[in-house]
Amino acid sequence: MSAVFRFAGPKILRAGLSILVVVTFTFVVLRASGDPALQILGPSARAPDLEAFRRHWGLDQPLYVQYVRYVLAALHCDFGNSMLAGKPALQLVFERAPLTLALMLPALALTMLIGIPVGAYAAMHRDTWVDRSVMMLTVFGFTVPSFVLGLLLILIFSVTLGLFPSGGADRPESFVLPVLTLGLGGAAIIARFTRSAMIEVLSQLYIVAASAKGVTWRQVVRHHAFPNAIIPVLTLFGLMLGGQVAGAVLVESVFGWPGIGQLLVVSVANRDLAVVQVILLLVALTMTSANLLMDLLYGVFDPRLRGTNSGSQ
């Protein structure tokens, strides 16, 4: 029990600290610069109106008072109201969240379903033309920005072939192009990573040993090489999530997808601070917990890591 705690404790503490740093950063940067009163009411607003607005939102208080209030409110899941919509910012974000998740989850699945087999296949056919063309393609996979890829897909499949709608989120077909756009770039990264992990594993002595004792190559790959290669790939998942979040902002903009990404862009353009803060915090929270989860799972999958603090040395 204490060994588990010694392994997990510092990681959890670090994750908590990270969240606190993000909260502080968000708060300081968003509050310290610019005057939201002027932004919302416009430059022609009268001074008393500006004053009333600042008082109403607590913008006339010293910064540390605002900060303490903010952190306390955040602990109660109260992130203030959207200045534009007049609704609680959290509610506004949660209304949009299902649509963004409906894009990201299939895209993440696609990333793994394409990336892992392609990478493993390329590794097992190393230095053949298949391997080389896959590697060439993956370079394009992560140098073509998602908004360009999305527009190219629209140009080919909507404008020229008329197969899929170019925007909106109202029909099942609407999902195809945005999910493809979001998934393909990630698949390229996963494919490259799987390939190098697989090549690394295939050169290990235990693979030679397994082959030498007469196990078929198929069995060697399935039971010895692949399970060992897949562990580091899984940890990439946390990193991928960040790329997917950023990609979703652009992809939603390309396809007119009414998710969190569009909400963020509109809120940034209008300096709707409460909403921007909630989204930033939500992203930080998701990413930190995903990374923490991966760290902990890594310890479960790979017992050697747990041993470093206790016993084995």
Binding site for other proteins (CB under 8 A): 14, 17-18, 21-22, 25-26, 29-30, 32-34, 139-140, 143-148, 151-152, 154-155, 159, 166, 238, 242-243, 245-246, 249-250, 253-254, 264-265, 267-269, 271, 273, 276, 279-280, 283-284, 287-288, 291
Residue placing its CB nearer to other proteins in the complex, 3 or 101:
101
Residue placing its CB nearer to other proteins in the complex, 47 or 269:
269
At closest approach, how far in Å is the CB of 1 from other proteins?
27
3-state class (DSSP) for residue 94: helix
At closest approach, how far in Å is the CB of 211 from other proteins?
26
Residue placing its CB nearer to other proteins in the complex, 215 or 296:
296
Instruction: Say how far apart CA 104 and CA 294 lie, in whole Å.
Output: 18
Residue placing its CB nearer to other proteins in the complex, 66 or 253:
253
At closest approach, how far in Å is the CB of 215 from other proteins?
31
Residue placing its CB nearer to other proteins in the complex, 210 or 273:
273
Instruction: Say how far apart CA 31 and CA 140 lie, in whole Å.
Output: 40
The separation between CA 127 and the C-alpha centre of its own chain, rounded to angstroms, equals 32
At closest approach, how far in Å is the CB of 312 from other proteins?
25
* Beta bridge partner(s), residue 81: 88
Which of 286, 288, 281, 284 lies closest to 80 in space, CA to CA? 281
All residues at 6 or more sequence positions from 277 whose CB lies less than 8 Å from its CB, including other chains: 26, 27, 30, 79, 80, 89
- Give helix 176-202 / helix 226-255 axis angle, nearest 10°: 160
Instruction: Find tokens 């793994």 and name the residue.
Output: 112
Which of 277, 278, 267 lies closest to 27 in space, CA to CA? 277
At closest approach, how far in Å is the CB of 214 from other proteins?
34
Question: Greatest CA separation found in the chain?
Answer: 86
Residue placing its CB nearer to other proteins in the complex, 194 or 262:
262
At closest approach, how far in Å is the CB of 107 from other proteins?
15
Residue placing its CB nearer to other proteins in the complex, 118 or 260:
260
Instruction: Give me the helices (H) in 33-154, please.
Output: 36-41, 47-56, 63-75, 89-124, 129-143, 146-153
Residue placing its CB nearer to other proteins in the complex, 215 or 280:
280
214, amino acid identity: G
At closest approach, how far in Å is the CB of 31 from other proteins?
9
Identify whether the C-beta of residue 69 lies closer than 8 Å to the C-beta of residue 57: no
At closest approach, how far in Å is the CB of 140 from other proteins?
7
Instruction: Say how far apart CA 208 and CA 9 lie, in whole Å.
Output: 38
